[in-house]
Every structure is written in C-alpha cells, then in structure tokens.
C-alpha cells in the first residue's frame, strides 16, 4: 500500500494515506474532508476481503456509490472476486489493481472519465473463466470413498532433544542471511526485471549490477546500525491425529490443544492431520511449533524512511526485512530438522532447499493446507511469543510485522498442498 502511495504521489495525485485497520466511517470522513475522487483499499489477508465487501455495501447504503469509484488491491484479492462478485454488489465503479502501476493507469482512466477527456474510458471488466462442473473442491461423487488419505502411518517418529518450549535470542545475521531467497527479494519485493526483449539489461545483469551490490550494502547497514533483533521461540510437543484433528498432548497424555484442518474433498484427500500417528495406533508422534521475528527496530527504521520521503530506501529496506523474516524461519526449520535427526535428506543447494526438497514441511497458518488464521492463537498460547517481543493482535496478525509462525512436520511425505475451502 505504501508503494501505491509513492507511485501515485510521484505522478501528481494527492494521496491521503490513512494507514491500516480504518473503519469505513473514518475512510468516508477523510474522503469527504479531502474531497477525494477515488477510494482505494488494500487487503493482505483473506479476512480483509470480507471487510472490503461490507465497506462497499455501506457505501451503497449511504448513497455514496455514485460519488466514489473504488480501486482494490492486495495479495488476498483476485481480479475475478473484485471485478465480478464485488462489481455485482457495488452500485458504483469498482476495479482491481494487480500492482501499483495498474493502480496508476486506473486512476488516470477514472479521472479522465470524470473530466470528460475525449477517448477516456475504464478498462473492460475481466470475465471469470467458466468453471467446469467437476471442480477439484466439490463433494466426492462417491461419499463411501470419503476417509483418510494414503499417507503412511508406519514412518519413523524421531525423538526431539527436549519437550516443551525454548527461547533463542540474538541470532546473528550471518547465520540466516544465507537462507535469503534472492529471487523473491529482487523480483517480488524490489521489482527488478528486464524491461523489454533486446532492450536494456537482462534480469541477471540487473542482479549483478544493482541487486547484489545494494543487498550487500543494506546487509552491512543492518549490522552496523544494529537494526536486527532476530529471535525464535520454538517447541516440541507430543501429538496424535484423530480424523481431521491434530491433538497436542502434555507429558501425562492430557490434551493441550487441538487443530482441526480441512481435508481435500477429492483426489488424494490430504489433510495435515494425516502426517501424524493416529490416536488409535496407541503410539504418539512429535510436532514442532515455531515463531520467528527479526524484531521491531527494523520496522521503526522503515517507518522513519517513509516519513522522510526516502521512498527508494524505504522500499528496499522493507522488502529486505520481510524476506529476512522468511529466511530466519527457513533457517530455523533446518535447525529443527537437524535436532530431529532428519537432516540427512537435505539437498546441497539453496535453490533446492527453497523448493523444500528436504524431509518434512513447515506449514504457516493462513496458507492453503491450514487456512484458519484463528489457529494462530493456539500456537501463541503454547509458545508465548511475548517472550521474544511478539504479540498476536485481535486480527490474528503478529506484531512486529516481520514475524511468522509455523507448524513443523517431520513426515517424509509431508509437502505443500491445497485443502480447498477457499474460492
């Protein structure tokens, strides 16, 4: 969202950036006060898609839809959701922006139309491809086939080095910086890309001339200015599965907490619970939980850069900070594999590591195998991440932002999958 602010402001628009978690009344007050031409909203988490819908309905109710065209963006949205589902509901214009640049061209079109510029018009709405009736997520045709997946239940259960939780603070940058996903940083965050065929430097050249030198400079700055406070809280818990549930147990076998995961309704019928010994086997399994953070100082520094209009520095540092949080999580997962004695299957190259070609899998809540963000409260309840300065908000977001949690699974067949449930 800050990037959208930067791009629009640099192109002559006056952006009133209200920040996060604004109720619709505050958005509408600001829109009236500043006589806004357009309202934009951004949603990173799936929950915000519901709020956006309610906000649009509120604009309808207040009779304001004709006054305010709306542009929506963010990772949680899809073009079809905005341009069909929300468009059907909203009595004004609503469009999806994949990135800040599409946001800019939409602004130009909306303002052109408003001012009656000859030839100005909004882009056509994107039509959703017609779905075949046999979607991967519909109820099984033969309910009698319903049941567990074919995931093995006779795999070896490793012994953890301890039971319960541990806190590790002050992890040096050099330990996890090597786990940085450069491609996610350069392409996803910094937007390095080859301009056009045969014109300008290639992506690889840009990485050599711009990406890596700037990365090295920033990593040095992070060290010198002492901006990182990498910390982890992790734990090993006894666990069993029962149907779609993963049950965590204390030393006496009493239930500590229980996760209920979605199961694929067709095909392999995978469910995260299947990677753990079933309760009826009489055996118990082990599950890892972790919360990692690179701390709050870096967020203070990026906020300072944004406030002082140092946009390029802001974008680069913010992008690097979020990828470092991801690198720390990946590094810690590797440590856990080592502690469980299953690291011998680890591949040699970082690329293969990032393709998760190792034994086991790190599932972050909110991702398709375990989409329920409310389950984050169960992890926080057991790990108590306040001990490393991390707090879970009412929206089930960890603060500081550069933090991530995970359920760590050791099963050799564990990998990412989509359990459906979402459009």
**Binding residues for ligand B12 (CB under 6 A):** 1, 3-4, 40, 42, 44-46, 71, 73-76, 97, 99-100, 103, 188-189, 322, 325-326, 364-367, 371, 373, 376, 397-398, 401-405
User: CB of residue 386 vs ligand B12: minimum separation in angstroms?
Assistant: 14
- What residue is closest to ligand B12 based on CB? 73
Q: How far apart are CA 175 and CA 41, in angstroms?
A: 38
Those residues whose C-beta lies under 8 Å from the C-beta of residue 210, and which sit 6 or more positions away, are 192
Q: For residues 325 and 419, which CB has a smaller minimum distance to ligand B12 in the complex? A: 325
Nearest approach, Cβ of residue 259 and ligand B12 (Å):
13
**Quick one: 99 or 208, whose CB is closer to ligand B12?**
99
Q: Distance between CA atoms of 388 and 165, rounded to whole angstroms?
A: 12
C-beta atoms surrounding 381 within 10 Å? 12
Residue 23 or 147 with smaller CB distance to ligand B12: 23
The least CB distance from residue 314 to ligand B12, in Å, is 12
Min dist. Cβ of residue 232 to ligand B12 (A): 13
In the complex with ligand B12, the residue whose CB is nearer, 46 or 111, is: 46
Cβ-based nearer residue to ligand B12, 150 or 395? 395
In the complex, the smallest distance separating the C-beta of residue 329 from ligand B12, rounded to whole angstroms, is 7
Any long-range contacts for 98-105 (C-beta under 8 Å, 24+ apart)?
Answer: 98/73, 99/73, 100/3, 100/4, 100/6, 100/7, 100/8, 101/7, 102/73, 103/4, 103/7, 103/8, 103/40, 103/71, 103/73, 104/7, 104/8, 104/11
Rounded-to-integer distance, Cα 68 and Cα 74, Å: 19
Assigned token pair, 261: 């995961």
Strand-pairing partners, residue 293, are: 231, 403
Shortest Å, Cβ 325 to ligand B12: 4
In the complex with ligand B12, which residue's Cβ is closer, 99 or 255? 99
Give min distance, CB of 215 to ligand B12, in A: 16
Nearer to ligand B12, 249 or 328 (CB): 328
**Rounded to an integer, what distance in angstroms lies between the CA atom of residue 278 and that of residue 262?**
16
Residues whose CB is less than 8 angstroms from the CB of residue 38 and which lie 6 or more positions away in sequence, other chains included: 68, 69, 70, 71, 107, 110, 111
């Amino acid at each position: 969202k800050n990037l959208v602010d930067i791009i629009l402001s640099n192109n002559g628009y006056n952006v009133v950036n209200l920040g996060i978690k604004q109720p619709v009344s505050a958005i509408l007050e600001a829109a009236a006060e500043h006589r806004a031409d357009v309202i934009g909203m951004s949603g990173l988490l799936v929950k915000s898609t519901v709020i956006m819908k309610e906000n649009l309905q509120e604009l309808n109710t207040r009779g304001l839809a004709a006054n305010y065209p709306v542009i929506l963006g963010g990772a949680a949205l899809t073009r079809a959701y905005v341009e069909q589902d929300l468009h059907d509901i909203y009595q004004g214009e609503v469009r999806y922006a994949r990135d800040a640049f599409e946001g800019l061209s939409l602004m130009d079109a909306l303002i052109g139309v408003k001012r009656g510029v000859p030839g100005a018009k909004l882009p056509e709405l994107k039509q959703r491809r017609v779905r075949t009736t046999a979607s991967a997520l519909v109820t099984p045709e033969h309910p009698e086939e319903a049941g567990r997946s074919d995931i093995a239940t006779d795999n070896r259960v490793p012994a953890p080095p301890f039971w319960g939780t541990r806190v590790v603070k002050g992890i040096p940058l050099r330990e996890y910086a090597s786990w940085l996903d450069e491609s996610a940083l350069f392409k996803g965050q910094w937007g390095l890309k080859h301009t056009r065929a045969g014109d300008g430097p290639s992506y690889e050249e840009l990485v050599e001339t711009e990406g890596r030198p700037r990365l090295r400079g920033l990593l040095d700055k992070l060290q010198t200015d002492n901006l990182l406070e990498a910390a982890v809280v992790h734990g090993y818990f006894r666990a069993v599965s029962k149907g779609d549930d993963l049950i965590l147990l204390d030393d006496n076998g009493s239930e500590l907490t229980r996760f209920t995961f979605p199961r694929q309704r067709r095909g392999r019928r995978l469910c995260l619970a299947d990677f753990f010994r079933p309760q009826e086997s009489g055996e118990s399994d082990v599950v890892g939980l972790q919360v990692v953070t690179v701390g709050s100082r870096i967020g203070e520094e990026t906020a300072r850069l944004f406030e002082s209009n140092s946009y390029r520095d802001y974008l680069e540092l913010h992008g690097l900070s979020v990828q470092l949080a991801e690198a720390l999580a990946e590094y810690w997962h590797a440590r856990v594999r080592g502690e469980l004695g299953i690291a011998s299957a680890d591949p040699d190259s970082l690329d293969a590591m990032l393709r998760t070609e190792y034994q086991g899998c790190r599932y972050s809540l909110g991702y398709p195998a375990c989409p329920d963000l409310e389950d984050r409260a169960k992890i926080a309840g057991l790990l108590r991440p306040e001990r490393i300065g991390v707090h879970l908000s009412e929206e089930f977001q960890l603060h500081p932002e550069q933090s991530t949690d995970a359920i760590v699974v050791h099963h050799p067949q564990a990998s990412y999958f989509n359990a459906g449930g979402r459009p």
